[in-house]
Chain A
Amino acid sequence: MSTPNIRQGSLEIVDQEKIISRGSLYVAQAPLTAMMKWFWMILAIAVANPVLYLLSIGVGVGAFIDKSAGAAGIDGVKYLTFLAPALLATAAIQGAIDESVSPTLEGFNWWKNFLGMNATPISGNQIATGVFLASLVRVVGTVIIYWFVMLAFGALESSKAWLAIPTAVMAGVAFGSITQAIAGLLKDENMFFVIFNRFIMMPLFLFSGTFYPLTSMPIYLQWIGWISPLWHATELGRYLTYGHALTQTMAITHMVFLLTLLALGIFFSRRIFTMRLAK
């Protein structure tokens, strides 16, 4: 579609090209500016969260488990090492949900600032992408900090361990993009995310092979892991941080699962945002 010839008033200042190419970055700027105000708080949580979890469960509970497991260890390593990649992916997912759901509910339902954005040249697609990008920044930050805490705890044993950063980020934003799309559908969110956290997030966290290998669960519960992005990210993370046995086919399956989820999440977020704003 060619750009129409609009009569110019005092408005040569509006740069259409720039809006089309960078609109979603402008959208991301608002939540990022808000995050910067809470920078020290966010940083403190990002550090305290892994320290507390790794210390209490990884080292604390791990001491008992390592004793009973003996020299064989859990999956051949200390419990702390086994547990850490799962917690890394969990933190990524939780961060992504926080940064995708709240801005979406604010934007559509609470403050309706998405309607304000959409009254400018910014499109629904750009708003959806912008919210996603801001959550991506937060997730990358969270995961990197988590990874360094894991390093400090001696939970990283492989030279490929750094690759657990992108896989955890991918799991986070894949999940976050789906919750962003769902949040975009909610007109009256009521208890939705309370229920979501209790009945979806909690079982995923507990039954995705987080605290023990998925295979040690009864087979009729293992499907929870198979559909859980957390399990797929955890499997990849364990392979990358300490060399957990993983076939090439399974590695590719995990990647494809997460990437598909991410693609669907972004596609539906953009679609839902655009349709809702055009009403």
Chain B
Amino acid sequence: MSSPLITARGLTKKFDEFVAVDEINFDVARGESFGLLGPNGAGKSTTMRIIGATSQRTSGDLTILGIDPEKFGPQIRAHLGVVPQQDNLDMNLSVSENLYIYGRYFGLSRKFLKTKIEELLEFAQLEEKRNAKVESLSGGMKRRLTIARGLVSEPEILMLDEPTTGLDPQARHILWDRLFRLKEQGVTLVITTHFMDEAEQLCDRLVVMDKGKIMAEGSPVQLIKDYSTKEVLEIRFGSERNSEMADQLRGMCDRIEELPDRILLYSEDGEALLEKIYSAGLHPKTSLVRRSSLEDVFLRLTGRTLVD
């Protein structure tokens, strides 16, 4: 196996007294799709800005493409495609001008950019909007343009910070499809997200972050296997009765989590567990058996849900 593209050891970032990233370690291999999963404020975006060679770390070691971003920021940034959380497009310019000007920041030639822009407009499904002002685009279109912009220099690593936050379900699926294609082409992706479905769809491997620390690491499947059961039974007795019923349910399954509106029961066989509950004479108002997700992993690790 070739050496990792990104290696972080004891990576720490403090803002005055506040520790945003707290001694984290991880590697990202070439061609891998690596995710940082965690709630808002977990330190994901700060980690991204450090990897993006724009924000300086407070301590720890970091190498990207074999060199230190603190010493060689511009050299590293030349090989990264960055899609920030906020689409920081130039609102004065049109769609294609945004791609062109951004390409110039990499010193790319006019000739190269001419064909590249066509390719990217097609990729982002924005051919018909090429001359439109960025202001007139929908949220999904702006996002796709920002991603296309990040690809203008054919980066070795594409970094996406919360790529689908704020998009409607249809726009999200279009984006996932585009990102999946990139992954198939062998582009190394580093993605932050607080959506477990996104992490499951896009990441080969991920770290779960909370309060600046890495809580767990592995593939989505492995994490679910390690930290949760195969199935989850969600039942509701009504908010005022949930707590009282939870006490009675304890012992009937591997693990139980009590949320304000529902109770989660962790089991290898959800249907069988539900039968058992009914035969015990308990009658929940609603019940749902589903497969375990990364949300359950996060709940197990932190005692909190991802989206508050």
A→B interface (CB under 8 Å): 1, 3-7, 9-11, 13-20, 22-23, 26-27, 29-31, 33-34, 37, 106, 111-123, 277-279
Contact = CB atoms under 8 A, between A and B. Distances in A.
A15, A19, A114, A119 pick with most chain B CB within 10 angstroms: A119
A202 B73 CA distance: 43
Contact of A6 (B65, B86, B105): B65
Contact of B84 (A18, A26, A115, A277): A115
Contacts of B80: 119
A136 B62 CA distance: 40
20 contacts: A3-B72, A4-B75, A11-B78, A11-B155, A13-B154, A14-B79, A14-B108, A16-B107, A17-B107, A19-B106, A26-B105, A33-B92, A106-B91, A112-B86, A116-B89, A116-B90, A119-B82, A120-B105, A120-B106, A121-B107
Given A10-B156, A11-B155, 7 more contacts: A1-B71, A9-B154, A13-B108, A26-B107, A113-B90, A114-B88, A123-B73
Contacts of B75: 3-4, 6, 16, 121
B95 to A, nearest CB: 13
A19 B84 contact: no
Interface string B105-143: 111100010000000000000000000000000000000
Nearest to A25: B104
Contacts of B84: 112, 115-116, 119
Contact of B55 (A17, A122, A279): A279
- The residue among A17, A27, A115 with the most chain B CB atoms within 10 A of its own CB is A115
Contacts of A31: 92
A111 B93 contact: no
Q: For chain B, which range describes its interface: under 10, 10 to 19, 20 to 34, or 35 or more residues?
A: 35 or more
Nearest to B5: A7
Given A6-B67, A10-B154, A13-B108, A29 B90 contact: no
Interface of B: 52, 54-56, 65-67, 71-80, 82, 84, 86, 88-93, 97, 101-102, 104-108, 112, 149, 153-156
A6 B67 CA distance: 7
A112 B146 CA distance: 13
Contacts of A9: 79, 154, 156
Contact of A112 (B65, B88, B97, B108): B88
B288 to A, nearest CB: 41
A15 B89 CA distance: 23
Contacts of B102: 116, 120
Nearest to A120: B105
Contact of A111 (B67, B73, B89, B154): B89
A19 B92 contact: no
Given A117-B105, A278-B54, A7 B65 contact: yes
A22 B107 contact: yes
B286 to A, nearest CB: 44
Contacts of A27: 105
B54 to A, nearest CB: 5
Nearest to A117: B105
Contacts of A119: 52, 54, 77, 80, 82, 84
Nearest to B154: A10
A13 B74 CA distance: 15
A97 to B, nearest CB: 18
B148 to A, nearest CB: 13
A271 to B, nearest CB: 16
B78 A14 contact: yes
Central interface residue in A1, A31, A121, by most chain B CB within 10 Å = A121
Contacts of A277: 54
Nearest to A18: B107
A88 to B, nearest CB: 28
A106 B135 CA distance: 14
A34 B106 CA distance: 20
Contacts of A34: 90, 92-93
A27 B104 CA distance: 9
Task: Among A1, A15, A112, A120, find the residue whose CB has the most chain B CB atoms closer than 10 A.
Answer: A120
Nearest to B108: A13
Top-3 shortest CB links A-B: A34-B92, A18-B107, A119-B82
Nearest to A21: B107
A116 B107 contact: no
A6 to B, nearest CB: 5
A14 B153 contact: yes
A20 B75 CA distance: 10
B107 to A, nearest CB: 4
Given A4-B72, A119-B80, A33 B101 contact: yes
Contact of A115 (B65, B88, B154): B88
Contacts of B66: 4-7
A150 to B, nearest CB: 31
A31 to B, nearest CB: 7
B153 A11 contact: yes
